[in-house]
Structure 1
Amino acid sequence: MFDNLRRYTAAYAVAIGGLLMTCLSSWNVRQELQTSHFKEFQWAAGDRIQAVHSVVDQGLDALLEIRGLFYAAKGIEEQAFRVFTDSILKRRPYIHSLLWAPLPNASQRALPGAATGTSPADPAVANGREDAIAGPPRVPVLLAAARTESAAAQGVDLNLTVELAALLRRARESGNIAVSSRIDLVQPGNATVPVIYAVLPVYSPGHSHSTAATLGARRQADPLGFVVGVYDIEELVHVAINLLEPRGVEVLVRDDSAGSDKQFLHFYASRLEPRATSTASGRMPVYDEDQPRMEARIPVGDRNWSIICVATHNFRSAEAFTEAHWTVLVGGFLFTALLTFYLVRSRRELENRIQLTLTIYEREELFRQLAETVDVVFWAINAEATRIEYIGPAFRQLAGREAMLDGLAGAAPSLLLDVFASDDRHTLLEAIRQLQAEGERFTVVLPVSRGERGLRWLRVCGFPVREAGSPLSRIVGFLEDITEHKLAEDALRDSEAKLRTLFNHSPDLIFTVDGEARILLTNRPLPYPVGGVGEKRSELILPAEVREGYLEKLRQVFRSGRIEHFQYNSSDATWWEIRMVPISSANVVTTVMAAMVVITDITENRKLQWQAIRSARLASLGVLSAGIAHEINNPNHAILANAPLLARIWQDALPILNEYEQEQGSFMLAGLSFEQARQTISRGMRDIAENAKRIQKIVDNLKHLGKQDRGHMNELADIGKILHAVVILLDTRIHKHTDAFTLDLPTALPTVKGNVQQLEQVFINVIVNALESLPDRSSSVKVSARTEQAGNRLIVQVEDQGKGIAEEVMAQIGEPFFTTKADSGGTGLGLSISLSIVEKHGGVLRFEANHHLGTTVSIDLPISTEE
């Protein structure tokens, strides 16, 4: 018994230690899981608090958007108000209704919705305001938009309700958004909806910015009216949290600015426990009092809300194994049991190894007997290659009958090496040294002329033998006669080398295919995979749109035995020609065994053809441009001559008309009041002259296509002034495409020597292209200018957040007649002319793709050295 205990001491020690370590590890894992669980709750609660805060801010921003609409429109009708607010209601489903309620004493001032009236400084208006202050002013609803019919109807006085009257008073005193406490709004059918009201006062444009300087003026001046928003509290919290993943978190929203009995706003039960409800006082359910919780306060207008998040008993943690400590405990017990069983079994098996050693020795002896009877020469040397440990008797046939093979134990390796020539012996020694250094097998083929068979070729293989405790114990290997195989392989290699030389030096891609379009042989490595493992599909070399046509042509070659060919162009604007030649058997001519496919690049030939066509088109365009310029110039000269005369006539007649208006009162001209007609005619006179000049510039550009005219290149161009003028010229188009146009210029920019009109044309073309590439109005275009660090170059950059430029299009930018906007009337001449103008000014026009989206166009111009 004591003998067995001593034999299995290690197994007992492993079992006891394993049990102790397993229990300790299980306890440690349980503590880590509890800590991780609390952190997961904090992250989930923070997401919900942030979501509610963000949705509340977005809802209040709707009031600012409506105020911005009123300021921008300078007068708005009910239809425009409804269209604008319907868009807001669709995007924000928690907004119950939006109202516009003007103050009666402000109806005669310049407020949104009023066509004309006296100014705020009018004494009559001031008296009206004072009268209004004497009593509670009426605040009737003028415009209303709501999801249901329960919104306040037009004409309802908001001051009739005590809570709304107090809310309007707070908004007027602060000049900012004021928010009410929870109010139960009665719906049709006596159903109530908990809502809050938010009120934003709208002042005249002179008081439109909330700065410290205007707050005092706001308190002294009445607002034009109020923008009122009604928000469904339950829908607001639902929209904020519903998009988040259900994690088992309950949310309680309270109004800290209200009294203790009115603080409760809404309780959002977890979707994992939908039956949970809060108490009447706004507290969490009793069963959640011992759960982890997180509380945060957020500002809502002039009030403060509290958001309390509590983890439910079903809170979902991101941990994959919430009961991992039990897994560690059970796994540790199992591992300890298995290890103990392994040690016990290993001890038992050790007793059997002695018997196995005798069996292995017998098998080694049997192997030696077999090795000595075959023609292959087996050999073994020590790890240092200083003595031969074994060499097979078949070595006598290689070394000659005179070789003494008896008593080889301890012999030098020279016995093995002497059968080879001096250079071949050196090769074999290098292979042995490399095996000693790297421990990898080697194979060399060497000639030998000794022995009974004359010149023979031997394959010499060596293998490392490793034992426990030693990186290399010995080196073993064999010598094999491969003369016949070597001669046949050399003859085949020579024949294949000659054919491969002719095949590989072809500039075309050549390969042979079978009847299933599988590649049999190719003259060069294919540029990309053409099928799965062991399969090479020839049609995968070609673009997807030409594969079906290629396979049909290939089937015709195998059916008819005739040569077929066709051409196609790839996505990188290169042209290719494919020729398919049938390969027939020498015995059966009518049977097509395979087909040779030759793919040739014919891009240069196609480019020469296109260049000839393009040259003819440019010549025709030059003649056409001259004719068009002449036809346009004649009527445009008449416009340029008459426009100043009409402007002077109008200026001379204007005093007479002003005097007539003072004597007779306002009168109509062409259906317009005299005030409107005076502004319209003055603006029209300026537009006629400016647009006539623009027509003249366009005509000059047409002449530029037909004639290489350098123009006046000695002007000192102020790039800042040119860019400001271009932005003013493109003002209508800019507002049509984007709301985020930026012109970022330093205070002073150096001048550039050249032609001002041509540089203006370049900037117009580049900015218009950037505007037309924008996908929507929220995308931006930024125009900036800076000087290089060296101080001799000026760089103007136009960055857009448009659709970007594809790589194949980028390679063709600037080519005449190349355009991606042919459907919308593009001619492909704008950038071509711009490149020509920039090059004349000694500059560079570059196009770069942005990291995320859009394109940056850089116009690099030399700075003038003249003062």
Structure 2
Amino acid sequence: MLDNLRKYAAAYAVAMGGVLLTCLSSWNVRDELQTSHLKEFQWAASDRIESVRAVVGQGLDALREIRGLFYAAQGIDETEFSVFADSILQRRPYIESLLWAPMLTAPGQVPPEGAPGKSRAAIGSELPPPVPVALVASRAALGPAKGVDLNAISEVATLFERARASGEIAVSGRMALTGRDRESLSVIYAVLPVYAPGKARGVAAGAPPPHVEPLGFVLGIYRIDELVHLAISLLEPRGVEVLVSDDSAGSEAKFLHFYASRLEPRSAATAAGLLPDQDKDQPRMVATIRVGDRRWSITCVATHTFRSAEAFTQAHWSVLVGGILFTALLSFYLVRSRREMDSRIRLAQTIYEREELLRQLAETVDVVFWATNAEATRLEYIGPAFRQIAGEEVSLDSSAPSLLLDVFEPDDRRVLRQAIAQLQTDGGRFTVVLPVSRGEHDLLWLRVCGFPVREAAAQLTRIVGFCEDITEHKLAEDALRDSEAKLRTLFNHSPDLIFTVDAQANILLTNRPLPYPVGGAGDKRSELILPPDVRAAYLEKLWQVFASGRIEHYQYTSSDGTWWEIRMVPIASAKAVMAAMVVITDITENRKLQWQAIRSARLASLGVLSAGIAHEISNPNHAITANAALLTRIWHDALPILGEYQQEQGDFLLAGLSFAQARETISRGMGDIAENARRIQKIIANLKHLGKQDRGHMDELADIGKILDAAVTLLDARIRKHTDSLTLDLPDALPVVRGNVQQLEQVFINVIVNALESLPERSRSVKISARLDSAGGRIVVRVKDQGQGISEDVMAQIGEPFFTTKAETGGTGLGLSISSSIVEKHGGVLRFESNRKFGTTVSIDLPISTEE
């Protein structure tokens, strides 16, 4: 326990320090976000207050513009007033009406425009003079009509008195006005007195001339809601609500308008004109502005959706979680590094032991291992077994290449030098067989092999090889030549039945008497040798040999359970097939061995897939299935509670969606999780199908499209590992092929895996397609990759058993050999076309089944 603490002390220190720093950083981020949130709100509230102040000022300036028109024109008619006022109404949509009301000196008398009015002393004891509406510009005939005496309206009369007293604009409190659809509109009235042109200077100075009555009044009716909405709609929505109050009014008439944020449009002021309850504890800002001779109070409140650094309000949790995760990963890395260090120590010990084992092996076996530098000017190593060839007195400490060359005769020495020079030029291996003379009657035959050793940059760094005594093999080879004649004789006693036939299937020549009579006297029909249920298929294959000139195979099982293979080889001249050689072979034992080889290859393929599938599918799928079921139950249990909350509190948002949308989306998402879990289970089921015992039956009807689709599904993890682009191009329907489904599936998996492993980078692609040939009798499956291609020397040995270019990664060299054998048994052909620039195309040509 104490040793483990010392070993992992750094990891423990990093973990504790990381957690502490993460907590401090999270607290600091949270505090900074709260401060930034408040500052952002103050800026947004100031923008709204200034916008309302500006729009109100522009609205009141409309009255001054009309007063300026009177001063400039020295009297205007109804048309001029209408044109000028309509342009103002178009620019300021919150103004409902603009009116000109002259002040009469006597009831029923309208003074000429520009005439001075009575003095206050002259009319002080009389009734207020009438102020009828003379000119009107209105959006929808709202407000007082033309001819109405405004002094008869108490609220307006009060405004006139205040305007006459101050000489400037007087504004009313909130008043009701019946709208176009009979609804009550909240408006304010603003009145500006207009004096005679000679008195304009005193008015502009802010104080009217004493004892001078105005010529009349310019009056404007403003919709409060339109004014506030226009002012704030010019700004970007930020989640700020605005309450406008009239501080100059009584406590019951202070409320003017409440502007609900566009991010929370359902919010509304209380019946008393106060802010909503949900805004009670929210940040707010209050400012007072002048509106004519009144003061308005503007209160801005941040809603719960106030858009400040909203996307980062949970950033402190992200910092906390991220910091803890990073600390955990760093601690895991330190622990892992320590374990890898221990593994390297053990690996170094293993390498030392294996080097010692290799040294003992080189000193014990009869094969002589040797190595030279790339220029073949220095002998770097030669095995102790060389003394058995050169004699016990030879010294192995010399580094001169002559130590190895001098045991051969001069001509043989020249051959070996040429082979080494050819290796240095071409980079290929060499094998030469040379004699070594040991006395007058003693002659050894050595097989000398050399191999290039290259670095990552493909530069030749060393030449290694071995010398093997093949004297016995050479003598056996000579004896083999001597026995060739004997073997020709033994051929006639082959256990296989070999005969040739003509185009009518008549036997021309046989290597031994037929096993049983084929018919009457002189009847040489070859099909009679076979069981009755095989004859039709045999004749069909034989006719295909004569028609196409290709080798055909056919296998069948006899009543005693033995397996037989019929191999039909065309004997052709330059123009046509003259005859066919038929070989009937007992393949029972071979069949059993082949089943075992195919099974081993399939298990090897499954082994390659299982490593990724076990981690990527099995464990995550169990967790997904279990958690999906639990989450579904939790959601169904929570639905009634959420529904009751919706009925009580109204609709609400979940992840930006309404409750109804969230309920549908989450229910559909739960179903998708379960469906995808079942899909994963299907992939595992396909893998189990691949591992089933193959009985070798060749009478199944195979759908090539379905087999290719299943193979791609099984290889999904490997495909995603090697490439971003794999295309499966299949027609809507393909004819079936008679054969073995599992064996064909194995062929396609081997070919696709080879194509994927040939890709040097993920951007390269693999395309799989299946089509009928031009004659319509065969299906051609092509697997085309954009890999590195196949070199000529590899292409020459690609179908040989146990030949592999992937020995270091576990390749056995049986995949393509077995695949080629399977394709041949299905009557097909496996072809390879390769180019270093454009990759490799593998074509699998299979005959379609003619049976319904």
TM-score range normalised by the length of the shorter chain: 0.3 to 0.5
State the TM-score, normalizing by the size of structure 2: 0.40
- Structure 1 length normalisation: TM-score? 0.39
Structure with greater Cα Rg: 2
